[in-house]
Structure 1
């Protein structure tokens, strides 16, 4: 990320721009923030393209196509304005290095990483093709790596399969030499099989550290793509077989993206391979550094907290707050929860200087970031939106008042996400039988193989809602000399939604107010 320069805009549409991410043949890319606090990547086309009506029409069609792209392994298009004086498009921001950056910085990736990468990209392309689209520029710089798996980005030149508009009519190169399919090089129709060829070239690069068609110039690269066999080094086994099949000169001989995913991951799919440790350690450190940069940027972006105003001591709070009473967030973070730090200048219990405290919070969140901001946004259920918890009541429970309802008892699992869109942790939460004032809740937060454990005391009970005070349990693991578990006390609200899910919500500002929908372990 680079600071904005004098000629960079400060706002695009409703998005406030914070940093410059890069530039390409079609425009510049910025890190931005929506009015609701979501972090996005905003691509603004070059001004000379904006004056070209043919380009505007093509850009409009491309944005419409990109909006249709979905799937777990892509970054979604969130907003766009093709009619603006300078057209732009905003996508979910993925805070991870590109495959190109990872290989240049750390060398070839291990086999298990490449298989997970191929399975995820295969499923992403299957989702793209199912919507009648062709990406047409699958290459290492358009693949981002996160702790949650790979992300395929930049559908700027994707188009509908039945489209007839030429994307080269204004001199814009379609595809990248060395990763283009033979049919693209020869100017023929590029269908879904063309993306599969590019996928094979990307996987060869990830596994060997060099492109399968090396060359000193574009002409040499393009000649080899059409006429020569790929150079795959010591690649072997199912990975070599799959890559070789993808790089077949005959488009009809290539496997489908779904078949690529099946060959590499089996019936479990990409999610069976993308698990803690799927990325090698040096790449995880790079992801963590990007997370720190982003979270420090978020902290810098917060307005300074106003100085405290002396006042008379507040009366003692009631023992149990009603469901509609707002409760002030505790000063610390729930054990194992990750998210942006408190605003700069906010007071802390332990007297740590705000900037040091902010950096510590960023480090706690570093391993938990995911790309920001991929599909769908956040699910927020503030108190009072559904008084008493909302949804249909569970089956009748004749237990005495103050007793934990049977519908809560059991083990629940799910992912948490912070209010700013950052992935938190994998949460396993167990509720035992008990009543108000008893420790009947246990939490285990897991991220990249590290665990934080906590116990919870039930403070308030209704048929569909538990209010719990959470405290850390046991010693905290450390990363780079920093404790991962915050060790603070937090307030957590658990709400049954009437559809078999348990909604988890923490009101801790320092942890990013993490939330998540949990399902009962079977």
Structure 2
């Protein structure tokens, strides 16, 4: 489990989840690695006090209700939440593995059969979500976690009910990540259809197979122009020949030209079988391949320096709420990666989703000189009712906490 050490200001427990370390942070607040009373690991998102108001709580409560309706073996499960707490929090299943973006960036593209296996698994998962009357609307490599039991989809903060004209988002806005966004979604078309998730899945599979996205540009203006241009062709350079027909249709400009998800599953099966494998064998090879290339350690993740604005940065910026005026097809202000947000970019829960766990920048607290390392783990602490509660750990969690304490102590300047 990769996490940074807790700082002295961090809470020891939230909603019964004992906090073991920091996973990341963003504009909304902090995400922690937590553990339930029964030893179940969890990703616990906490909204910081400076952005909490009545509207934020209402928005947060609405998103919680959406998350409660989503289920499936390839979906990171909702565990618990409290929108009325002093610091609203949300706990979801913690998937112990890298996200697809990180894996491909670090280790390179997946082999053809493994890409097809990933496609079949995720297409089947999304089909199940669509049967529940929901869309994901922000599927991207950072929202696909490669866990020890196979891939799982996270961050349904942008999900909306497909049968309802009501939306959890403000009118005249475009939500999502541009690099994987379907043309109609970029154009602000509402209501959206399941085809937006088909397009996004195609973009993710192209990235898995090649390391690049369908369209890339130097700024958001140019990127949105390419995505919304009817005659623009996606860049399939270096895509395996066996996958090109499927990727071409999934990335079609017109929604009606894209295949349904069951057809995507079938075409992925055909590719796998053409490689001389059965579907179950390909899935096993995918998980084995990920495990073989994923370091099994618990060392804290050092902070990442802001990246310069380039194609990779544009591919997965923080999920943006991009205001649009009626009749326009592109955002009016570019959003450089790592720069201060302009006035028209609104990274708050009032008009946007909760930050994805895997989109957040890992942090490593730096204590002031003379500050001793935190000693919460393994000590008594005050419980929610004011009494003294005993911390509890599984053996694995105790090992994680011990390593985090040691790493914190090594980083302290005293």
**TM score, norm. by length of structure 2:** 0.66
Aligned pairs for 1:255-270 (under 5 A) are 255-265=259-269
The equivalent residue for 1:31 is: 33
Tell me the SS of whatever aligns to 1:79.
Answer: strand
The equivalent residue for 2:22 is: 20
1:230 aligns with 2:234: yes
Tell me the SS of whatever aligns to 1:28.
Answer: strand
The equivalent residue for 1:374 is: none
Distance across 1 between alignment mates of 2:203 and 2:288: 21
8 Å Cα contact 2:180/2:204 also seen in 1: yes
Distance across 2 between alignment mates of 1:226 and 1:109: 28
Q: Which has the higher contact order (CA 8 A, sep 6+)?
A: 2
Structure 1 residue 115 displacement after superposition: 0.8
Distance across 2 between alignment mates of 1:341 and 1:51: 38
Distance across 2 between alignment mates of 1:144 and 1:342: 21
Structure 1 residue 194 displacement after superposition: 0.7
The equivalent residue for 1:121 is: 122
Q: 1:192 to 1:8 in 2, by over 3 A?
A: farther
Structure 1 residue 87 displacement after superposition: 2.1
Structure 1 residue 147 displacement after superposition: 3.2
The equivalent residue for 1:287 is: 294
Distance across 1 between alignment mates of 2:292 and 2:281: 20
The equivalent residue for 1:410 is: none
Tell me the SS of whatever aligns to 1:150.
Answer: strand
Gaps of 5+ in 1: 295-299, 305-338, 345-353, 356-522
Count of residue pairs the alignment pairs up: 305
Structure 1 residue 233 displacement after superposition: 0.6
The equivalent residue for 1:201 is: 203
Distance across 2 between alignment mates of 1:11 and 1:97: 25
Which structure is higher in helix share? Answer: 2
Which structure is higher in strand share? Answer: 1
8 Å Cα contact 1:119/1:270 also seen in 2: no
1:95 aligns with 2:96: yes
Distance across 2 between alignment mates of 1:258 and 1:270: 18
Distance across 1 between alignment mates of 2:199 and 2:173: 21
Distance across 1 between alignment mates of 2:121 and 2:278: 5
8 Å Cα contact 1:95/1:290 also seen in 2: no
Aligned pairs for 1:324-339 (under 5 A) are none
Distance across 2 between alignment mates of 1:211 and 1:10: 41
Distance across 1 between alignment mates of 2:161 and 2:88: 20
Gaps of 5+ in 2: 302-374, 380-393, 404-414
8 Å Cα contact 1:247/1:254 also seen in 2: yes
Tell me the SS of whatever aligns to 1:133.
Answer: coil
Q: 1:241 to 1:24 in 2, by over 3 A?
A: farther
The equivalent residue for 2:284 is: 276
Structure 1 residue 82 displacement after superposition: 1.9
Distance across 2 between alignment mates of 1:11 and 1:195: 36
**TM score, norm. by length of structure 1:** 0.53
Structure 1 residue 204 displacement after superposition: 0.6
RMSD: 3.2
8 Å Cα contact 1:116/1:273 also seen in 2: no
The equivalent residue for 1:136 is: 137
Distance across 1 between alignment mates of 2:250 and 2:168: 24
8 Å Cα contact 1:49/1:56 also seen in 2: no
